[in-house]
Structure 1
């Protein structure tokens, strides 16, 4: 299908992890059809990750968070009209919606593209806006779901790559060597590991740590730093996305719950220790081999609930359990490198 396409619109506004996963789709299209121009619609908060990306010809930003507020409905309507005019003038041959929500379906339709592609199983009736619907199992990893769309468009998948933009190291990073990154918080309350558990694990492991996160994670990160006896430094809320790329690339490995930032670390070529409770590593775990996935043993996991009154699944994963798994994992990785 893409052999006849000159310009493609990719609709994937959020979230961070999903955008990182979609880089595999971007790479597949450009590897198979390098002359296709690709424009990407993304939420303002993630614009930095795609701006000046060598495989993307144009980045179009939207303020999806403001659209959620019903008080802004008049402004939102005007923004949709403006977006419609902008997209129509681009004369897209094809629009691909990898988000699969109502607003992304509407944007795909507003593009005016003659071919509008999306998942048959998309939510919020967004599939009503597509004229080519692709059925893909919801039980496979998100990366593989996006690559099934690439296959349907005529791409051959020779390898899976997540091309992240070049990132210059911030000057202060030169002060840190041989450190492990900790991502303490997620947007789901139920996916968070207990802060005292992080503190205990930091004290047990023979590494120094940098704690990363957004501005909203700053309080939790500072609490961990305060109780870590000088072994951890919080930089939460003080880095850009591109600085995070540089930090991940220099780190030894990353310890994290199931969060979008975890996937950015993986895209940077970093191995992660991923702690899973209410979600499924088969669907949203770190993609690729060599990662350490520690999954809750409780029967109700995964429940996919954003809130919980007990947090039993995450509490059952103790610092001692994680410590033992990390030590064995690191010893195995070091042994494997020596015998190559």
Structure 2
């Protein structure tokens, strides 16, 4: 059976799909999946062994000049490439009008969530197979249910989340080995999109010093100039300069994933890379200061969530100093260390 999966973005959404792929692979021995995904995430689907071909799509670029000769040529070539393959089913796991625009151009029946289940109900009008999926559950379980019903197998709530990524042949990035050799290290994912999601720098500094004293080195990755300078400020307070590493260049997604994979533990704010660590089964503590992880948070067998009383409010700007202080309740350095101790035993 060959299925074309449409799940184009975002990073968290892409990683949420892997457990469903693992379910399907176990249930359907001859299953092969090809995947349409945004070009910026094209490395990721290949990490799962059931995925064969990856079709990187550039919808955002196409939208900037939809009627240009180049755009029309790229769109034509893109769909010709996909339609050169014969698919038993197209599975739209995105559930948006933009994803059904893609799905309808494929020469195969299309399945997706029904009107009451899908993110944009109008998309469901174009599915040949409509699947009912309960909304009030985590995105991972929604996708697992969609795959099971569309592909014809059973899953139960007792089945653990298995991402199933093929990392057996992964090795530490050479630049990491140059800095830390074989010494145990942790990764602090300090960068995120909203200012209100940040964990205070003084907390990161205290945590850095505490884990340094326990013999752990720390990697402080970054994704833009603001995060780079923050990482440098935090690193300046390490017990010894050799105990912390701020990469000189932004790590590629592959190198970032490998750095996470071989770490002893990860501490993260609510950010896309937390989903990467979850999928790699790394012991991780995720801090949810102003966002609720119930439906889309990082999840997995080694993930611990610390959630503030303000998390369900999705605060982008604090209404008062009191609310700002409340958003850190349960997210102190000692709270993080206690959470890490469950996995590491001696932090």
Q: Shorter-chain TM-score: which interval? A: 0.7 to 0.9
The runs of 5 or more residues in structure 1 that have no matched partner are: 1-5
Partner of 1:137: 134
How many aligned positions are there?
327
Q: CA deviation at 1:284?
A: 2.2
Q: Is the 8 A contact 1:7 1:38 kept in 2?
A: yes
Structure 1 CA distance, aligned partners of 2:307 and 2:325?
11
Structure 2 CA distance, aligned partners of 1:30 and 1:138?
24
Single out whichever of 49-58 and 146-155 deviates more from structure 2: 49-58
Partner of 2:197: 191
CA RMSD in angstroms, aligned pairs only: 2.9
Structure 1 CA distance, aligned partners of 2:85 and 2:248?
39
1:260 matches 2:272: yes
1:287 matches 2:299: yes
Partner of 1:39: 34
Aligned in 2, Cα 1:12/1:189: closer, same or farther, shift over 3 Å?
farther
Aligned in 2, Cα 1:118/1:213: closer, same or farther, shift over 3 Å?
farther
Partner of 2:153: 155
Q: Is the 8 A contact 2:308 2:330 kept in 1?
A: no
Aligned in 2, Cα 1:73/1:224: closer, same or farther, shift over 3 Å?
farther
Query: SS in structure 2 opposite 1:48?
Result: coil
Partner of 1:55: 50
The runs of 5 or more residues in structure 2 that have no matched partner are: none
Partner of 1:329: 339
Q: Is the 8 A contact 1:296 1:314 kept in 2?
A: no
Question: What TM-score results when the alignment is normalised by the length of structure 2?
Answer: 0.82
Q: Is the 8 A contact 2:282 2:302 kept in 1?
A: no
> CA offsets per residue over residues 258-310 of structure 1, 9 Å max, x none?
12211111111112111113322211233234533211223xx32346x3255
Structure 2 CA distance, aligned partners of 1:53 and 1:138?
26
Structure 2 CA distance, aligned partners of 1:103 and 1:133?
17
1:220 matches 2:220: no
1:308 matches 2:306: no
Aligned in 2, Cα 1:101/1:237: closer, same or farther, shift over 3 Å?
farther
Q: Which of 213, 217, 227 does residue 208 from structure 1 map onto?
A: 217
> CA offsets per residue over residues 291-331 of structure 1, 9 Å max, x none?
33211223xx32346x3255976654549943222333344
Q: CA deviation at 1:248?
A: 1.6
Aligned in 2, Cα 1:93/1:276: closer, same or farther, shift over 3 Å?
same
Partner of 1:98: 93
Q: Which of 115, 118, 121 does residue 122 from structure 1 map onto?
A: 118
Query: SS in structure 2 opposite 1:60?
Result: strand
Q: CA deviation at 1:194?
A: 3.2
Single out whichever of 157-166 and 71-80 deviates more from structure 2: 71-80
Aligned in 2, Cα 1:278/1:63: closer, same or farther, shift over 3 Å?
same
Query: SS in structure 2 opposite 1:42?
Result: strand
Structure 1 CA distance, aligned partners of 2:249 and 2:153?
39
Aligned in 2, Cα 1:173/1:111: closer, same or farther, shift over 3 Å?
same
Aligned in 2, Cα 1:323/1:238: closer, same or farther, shift over 3 Å?
same
Structure 1 CA distance, aligned partners of 2:285 and 2:248?
19
Q: CA deviation at 1:95?
A: 0.8
Q: CA deviation at 1:85?
A: 2.7
Question: What TM-score results when the alignment is normalised by the length of structure 1?
Answer: 0.84
Mapping of 1:20-31 within 5 angstroms?
Answer: 20-31=15-26
